């Protein structure tokens, strides 16, 4: 199938854990798939929560993903192999090395095709991820997602329920210390969505 001109552009989907980033990424990619475009999904090989060949969102939406080394050469090689693919998705961008060449590569590729990137806004300490921080203001479009704060007031037993923009890491139910490793793959046992007021570091 040939088209007049290739659709292009970069959309970055950003937010804390449990804000539905992967679900939104898969929704956007599926939309193009249904319109007859060729679509591929990449993810850093560090994320082994599910399997090497598949991304499963928190809502169970599935799309096969190619696991790539989370550095410039890993991404460059994968994108070169996918040269003819019209729409590219990249999940969990924050796990890629802090290398400006990665940012430049994504910007370059998104001049020729449509690229959707999903990324955590901040690490568990509330600090930005370098690659995400550099890519975000250069994107054509940003989708900012929020979760719901699950903090429970110990006095009243009430849930906060405010929009959550932070990812709280917990160790045995207590806030993780600032010097804990930056990357720790986990789910609800290790992380909670929190608002800014209830985001804690010990
Ligand atoms: Zn809160």
pLDDT for position 62: 79
- pLDDT, tens only, 98-117: 999 999 999 999 999 999 99
Question: Does residue 46 surpass a pLDDT of 80?
Answer: no
User: What's the 198 CA to ligand 1 centre distance in angstroms?
Assistant: 5
Question: Does residue 51 surpass a pLDDT of 90?
Answer: no
pLDDT for position 6: 74
Enumerate the known binding-site residues for ATP. Answer: 15-22, 91-94
Burial 157-179 (b: 16+ CB within 10 A, else e): eeebeeebbbbbbbeeeebbeee
User: What's the 16 CA to ligand 1 centre distance in angstroms?
Assistant: 13
User: What's the 31 CA to ligand 1 centre distance in angstroms?
Assistant: 34
Does residue 21 contact residue 13 with C-beta atoms inside 8 Å? yes
pLDDT for position 48: 56
CATH number of 9-145: 3.40.50.300
pLDDT for position 54: 63
Angle at CA 56, nearest 5°, toward 53 and 59? 170
Give the residue extent of every domain in the chain: 9-145
- H-type alpha helices, 15-97: 21-34, 72-81
Distance CA 132, CA 93 (A): 7
Question: Does residue 50 surpass a pLDDT of 60?
Answer: no
- pLDDT, tens only, 149-200: 999 999 999 999 999 999 999 999 899 999 999 998 888 889 999 999 999 9
Enumerate the known binding-site residues for Zn(2+). Answer: 149, 160, 195, 198
Per-residue pLDDT averaged across 37-60, rounded? 72
The residues that are catalytic are 92
Q: Which residues pair with 14 in a beta bridge?
A: 119, 144
pLDDT for position 101: 98
Confidence of residue 57 (pLDDT cuts 50, 70, 90): low
pLDDT for position 39: 96
pLDDT for position 177: 94
- As a whole number, the mean pLDDT across the chain is 91
Coil, strand or helix at 21: helix
Query: Quick one: which of 54, 57, 63 has its CA closest to 32?
Result: 63
User: What's the 15 CA to ligand 1 centre distance in angstroms?
Assistant: 15
Q: Which two tokens stand for residue 27?
A: 């929704």
User: What's the 126 CA to ligand 1 centre distance in angstroms?
Assistant: 14
- pLDDT, tens only, 83-97: 999 999 999 999 999
ipTM of the complex: 0.99
pLDDT for position 52: 64
User: What's the 202 CA to ligand 1 centre distance in angstroms?
Assistant: 17
């Amino acid at each position: 199938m040939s088209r007049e001109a290739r659709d292009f552009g970069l959309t970055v989907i950003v937010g804390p854990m449990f804000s539905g980033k992967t679900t939104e990424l898969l929704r956007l990619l599926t939309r193009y798939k249904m319109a007859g475009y060729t679509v591929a999904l990449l993810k850093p090989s560090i994320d082994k929560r599910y399997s090497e060949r598949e991304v499963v969102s928190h809502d169970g939406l599935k799309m096969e993903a190619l696991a790539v080394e989370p550095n410039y050469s890993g991404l460059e090689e994968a994108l070169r192999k996918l040269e003819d693919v019209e729409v590219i998705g990249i999940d969990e961008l924050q796990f890629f090395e802090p290398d400006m060449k990665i940012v430049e590569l994504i910007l370059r590729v998104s001049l020729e095709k449509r690229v959707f990137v999903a990324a955590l806004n901040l690490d568990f300490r509330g600090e930005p991820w370098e690659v995400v921080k550099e890519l975000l203001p250069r994107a054509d479009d940003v989708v900012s997602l929020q979760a719901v704060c699950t903090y429970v007031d110990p006095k009243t037993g009430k849930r906060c329920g405010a929009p959550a923009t932070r990812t709280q890491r917990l160790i045995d139910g207590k806030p993780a210390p600032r010097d804990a490793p930056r990357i720790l793959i986990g789910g609800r046992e290790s992380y909670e969505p929190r608002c800014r007021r209830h985001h804690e570091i010990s």
